[in-house]
Structure formats: C-alpha cells, structure tokens
Structure 1
Amino acid sequence: MQCFGQLLLLDRPAPHRRKLAVTTPRIAIILLAAGRATRFGGGKLGTTLAGKPLARHAADSLSTLPHVQRIAVCSTQTPDLPGFSRLLLDPPEAPLSHSIAAAVAALGDVDAALFALADMPLVPAAHFAELVARFDGDRIATQVDGRNMVPAIFGKQHFPALAALVGDRGGGELLADAPWVDLPAHLALDIDTPDDLQSAKEQLQGL
C-alpha cells in the first residue's frame, strides 16, 4: 500500500488475462475417384504415371494433411488408395454430383471438407496445405486463370447445397465469390485423355 496525502493506493496484482483457445477446424478429406473415364478409354485412374497409379498422386499429396476423416469415392476400377476409406459409387456411371452427395452423406462430425479430384495428379501437397492454412470456416477455392474451382474446402454450412447438386456439375458454382489460392495452370492439369496423360508425364520428367 502506498500513501500520498489523503489518497491511499492499494497495490493490486495485474488483472488475469484469459488465453483464448485457438480451435483447429475438423476437416475431412474427400477424394473424388470414380467417374466413367469415357474420353480416356476406361481404367484411367489405375494407369501408371511416374511409377504409380494415377490416382495415387493426389492421394499421397492429400495424405500429408491433418484430418479427422479421409474418404475416396470410388468405382470398381479405382486402384488401392492407402489411408482412405473406400466409398463405392453405385451405379459407377453416376454423374459427379452423385459422388459429392455420397461423400457428404458419409461425413462424420466435421467442421469442413476438402474436395479434390483424383485425376489432377500434379497439384502439390504445398497447395493443399495452403488451402487448409487459409480456410476461415466458410470456403476457400483454388483459382486457375481467374476461375475458382476445386481443390476447395467447404464449411459444413455448405454441405446441404453440395448434396443438392445435380448432373456432372461439381461444386464450382458455390465457389464463385469465395476467397482463393492461386495455382499455375500447368499444375491444374485434369487427365481426361491419353494426350493429357502424356503431358503430365512430360511435366513430371521436367521437375
């Protein structure tokens, strides 16, 4: 206690400041690995690229991320994807929206889901990690040449809209006004044809 004339000042301990807990969102990882591959001629995801099945490239990059659940939506032709729970699409020729709806229905208690395509083998693990780091609880997209697209993360408030998609349109329409992480176009190569596969081989050889 200190006394200054008639004014008494009591020495008081500094107020206790509560530390705010930082909550890490519980993110599920969804790898869309079904599809008909009609332009490729069938068997696309099992085709060898740089010594392993095409679909393994995306799966391996995604496996470096923290997660609470990992699901691969597959057809009977999808190769083994270690670390992912397989969700068999029925019928296998169902459009992309069915894969998305099936994945959403299989989700557990999560805050968000990262959707990626198994036929985009060149997306680096660092890009997926940046999506997770910049996710704010709503949405975060990949932007290629000014267009928002997957890979992307959707907060759980968007799950009903994802489940209601129809046809072969993915979740891109839900990403138009979302924040984004840039990805060079050559790394966003989507393998639809044998020529695309050859382009991917040439790019991997140049790395």
Structure 2
Amino acid sequence: MAEKMGEGEPILGIVLMCSGWSRRFGRNKLMEELGGKPMSAYIFQTLSSLLFSQAGSGAHSEAVGSGLSPSRERGGVSFDIPLVVTRFPELRRLAERFCFRVIMHNDPEQSDTIRHALSSGPASRWDGAMFLAGDQPMLSERSLLRLASSFSLFPDKVSRLSFNGEAGNPVIFPKKYFPELKNLTGDHGGGVILKNGLIRPEEILLVQAEREFELWDVDTEDGIRRIEQVLRLRYG
C-alpha cells in the first residue's frame, strides 16, 4: 500500500476548469440555464456542500460557505478552497458567490488553464489536485468523497472517477505529476499524460461513481435535454 505524503492528511486542491469556449454548444454553456439555474452552479453547489457548513442562499439558490473553513475530516484529506480558473466575468461572479478563489485569464488553450492553476500560490501546498469541469452538473458529493478517499489511501497514484470500468472525470493527480501537467501545450488536458504511457496503467485507480449519469458532460443541446430528463425523474 502506498504511504501518505508527510504528516497528517494530504492537502487536496480542487481546480474547476471553466475557461472553455463551448464551440460545439455555440455559446457559454456553463451559464446555460438548467433546471432554473446556471449549469455550472450545480457543481459549485455540490462542492460547497462538501466543503463548507451551510448558511443561507444566494441569487441562484446556491449554498454559501460560512466562515470559509473547509472540512478537514471528509474523505481522509484536507480540502483546500476550490480554485475556479476562467475567462468569463459571469463565471467569476458566480464563483465569488460561493466564496471560491478565482483566477482570471485570457489565454486560449486548455493547457493554459491547467498551468495557471498549478502556478498559483495555493497550489504550492497541495499534495494533489482534483480537476473538475463545470459541465458535469450531476456529480454527487458521495462520489467526490469516494474519489478523495482513494487519494487519501494512495496519494502517489492517480484516482479517476469511473462507472463500470469506463474512466471519466474528475481526476486527481498527485503532486509528482504537476511538472508534466504544467508543461502541457495546446488544447490538451491531463488526459494526454494518462494516455501517452507516461503513467503506467497500474498507477491509475478507477473509482466507481454512484450513478452513470454523474459522468455525463454537456457539449450540445441534446446533452442539456438528457440532463433535464434526469432532473425531472429525480426531482419531479
């Protein structure tokens, strides 16, 4: 079994990658209304529930962190405050309602988003980083805790959310892979180093999600309709 890094719980950074141009969707899909609120508000809400004690609600009925004191006992890790990396002022405003940190930039590629996150001040103390996208609105708190628990037990391995053996996102990368992630170029994310042989298959742990639809992302209008059907079935 892998040993934990250092003393105590490993510190896990949370990076929300919210800079994409949504070219297939045709407009900023992260602010597209879904069930009465912006799509990205769902994952923001889930992370807020995971990390903070709840107090009140904001303009989009999102939970707002009280006291900005992330839980240090959930999933066996110490969660850092989520870091939202975006180019869109509307995403910045939404993230600030949740009391998340924000990095604004205008660089064009997905690799730029990763580099900005891992070059930030908070990243210097992380033992690993969980990378999430804003277009997976059905991710659950329980599945994210499973992912964090995997990293807590095996902090030198990659932990990746999956369903019935099919790998998806989010992904937790240990700190030892930060240099490779920061050196990515072009419109590429961490999936490149997962597929190019740099990381051996036995170093990648697949963590079962609660439900298959948690791994669904939204790239098209059909994707929106599919998520809306799930919301109607679950919540009426």
Residue 111 of structure 1 corresponds to 127
The letter of the residue matching 1:118 is: G
Q: What's the secondary structure of 1:204's corresponding residue?
A: helix
- State which structure, 1 or 2, has the greater radius of gyration over its C-alpha atoms: 1
| More displaced 10-residue stretch of structure 1: 116-125 or 58-67 | 58-67
Flag structure 2 segments of 5+ consecutive residues without an equivalent. 1-5, 52-70, 72-78, 196-200
Match of residue 56 from structure 1 = 41
What is the CA–CA distance in structure 1 between the aligned matches of 2:83 and 2:155, rounded to whole Å?
A: 20
Whole-Å separation in 1 of the counterparts to 2:116 and 2:163? 27
Are residues 1:127 and 2:146 paired? no
| d(CA) in 1 for partners of 2:30, 2:184 | 24
Task: Indicate the residue corresponding to 1:24 in structure 2.
Answer: 9
Matching of residues 103-182 of structure 1 within 5 Å = 103-106=117-120, 107-135=123-151, 136-138=154-156, 139-144=158-163, 146-175=165-194, 177=201, 178-182=204-208
Superposition map of 1:59-78 within 5 A: 59-63=44-48, 64-65=50-51, 66=71, 67-76=79-88, 77-78=90-91
Mapped contact 2:39–2:135 kept (Cα < 8 A): yes
Q: Whole-Å Cα distance in 2 between the matches of residues 167 and 182 of structure 1?
A: 30
**TM-score of the superposed pair, with normalisation by structure 1:** 0.82
In the TM superposition, what whole-angstrom CA distance separates every residue of 1:50-106 from its partner, at most 9, and x where no partner exists?
222111111121221442232001122425121211111213xx1211111111111
TM superposition score normalised by structure 2: 0.72
2:25 partner SS = coil
Q: Which amino acid letter does the alignment assign opposite residue 174 of structure 1?
A: I
SS class of match (1:192): coil
More helix by share: 2
Which sections of structure 1, spanning at least 5 residues, go unmatched? Answer: 1-20
Query: Letter of the aligned partner of 1:199 in structure 2?
Result: R
8 Å CA contact 1:148–1:175 kept in 2: the answer is no
Deviations 1:2-35 (A, max 9, x none): xxxxxxxxxxxxxxxxxxx971111111011111
Amino acid at match of 1:105: S
- Check the 8 A contact 2:162/2:215 in 1, yes or no: no
Counterpart residue identity of residue 90, structure 1: N
Query: RMSD of the alignment, in Å?
Result: 1.9
Question: Identity of counterpart residues, as a percentage?
Answer: 27
